[in-house]
Each structure stands twice: as C-alpha cells, then as structure tokens.
Amino acid sequence: MIKLVTLLTKRPGMSREAFIEHYETHHKKIGEKYLAGYAVKYQRRYLNVADSAHHAPEELPFDVLMEIWFPDQARMDAAMALIGSEAAQAEIIADEARLFDRDLIRSYVVEEYESEMP
C-alpha cells in the first residue's frame, strides 16, 4: 500500500466553514472523479487548534491533511498521469484557485508504522 499525503491551506480571507463546505460538496468530487479505479481510500482531515493541547500553535500551519491510499506504485503512477493530463489540470487548478493558497500546497509519499497498543 502506498499513501500520498497532501497539506493544504485555505486561500486568504476564506472562513473555515466555507472552506470545508466547498471542499466537501465540490472539490472532493473532482478528486473522486480522477481517483476512481486507482485509489482505495481518499480522506480529508481538517485541523482545529485543541484548547487542551499545551503545545498547540495559535495559528495552523495548514488547514487540511488529505490522504490517498493506492494499492501499489503502478496504480498511483496511473492516477498521477491522469491527474496530470491537460483536461484534468484545467479542472483541478480552476477549483483549487477558489479554495487553496496554491503556493503552500505540499505533497509527500509516506511510510506508515503502527504500534500495537495494549
């Protein structure tokens, strides 16, 4: 299994509520359209500053952690080729401009290790 993690920051002046609303009602559908048949899971985790966290920053470094799981490298490569096509990029970039600060988008392939907890 291969996991792609992307850190996304909402565009300046956009409220958290409007950001989540647009992502969950519109932008995720674009992702689902291009990831269908390639990814096995597509998840978004929206950050909030925890009042009880003593080490929490006052401002978030990003607003959502997007995670996409692929069964193997070949499926990830095929999905990225489709997403990189001219038609897909036109659709994705147009909607990203409404939602994100595109200069701050960061993506990483991650290795996961889990601890078995008693």
Task: Give pLDDT, residue 48.
Answer: 83
The mean pLDDT of the chain is: 93
Mean pLDDT confidence for 15-28: 97
The answer to whether position 7 is within a domain reads yes
The answer to whether position 117 is within a domain reads no
Confidence band, pLDDT 50/70/90 cuts, at residue 59: confident
Q: Which two tokens stand for residue 95?
A: 């909607």
pLDDT surpasses 60 at 53: no
Mean pLDDT confidence for 82-111: 96
Domain count, the chain: 1
The answer to whether position 116 is within a domain reads no
pTM for this model (two decimals): 0.88
CATH number reported for the structural domain that contains residue 39 in this entry: 3.30.70.100
Q: In what order do the strands lie in the sheet with 41-46?
A: 41-46, 64-70, 2-8, 106-110
The answer to whether position 118 is within a domain reads no
The answer to whether position 12 is within a domain reads yes
Domain that holds residue 95: 2-49+59-110
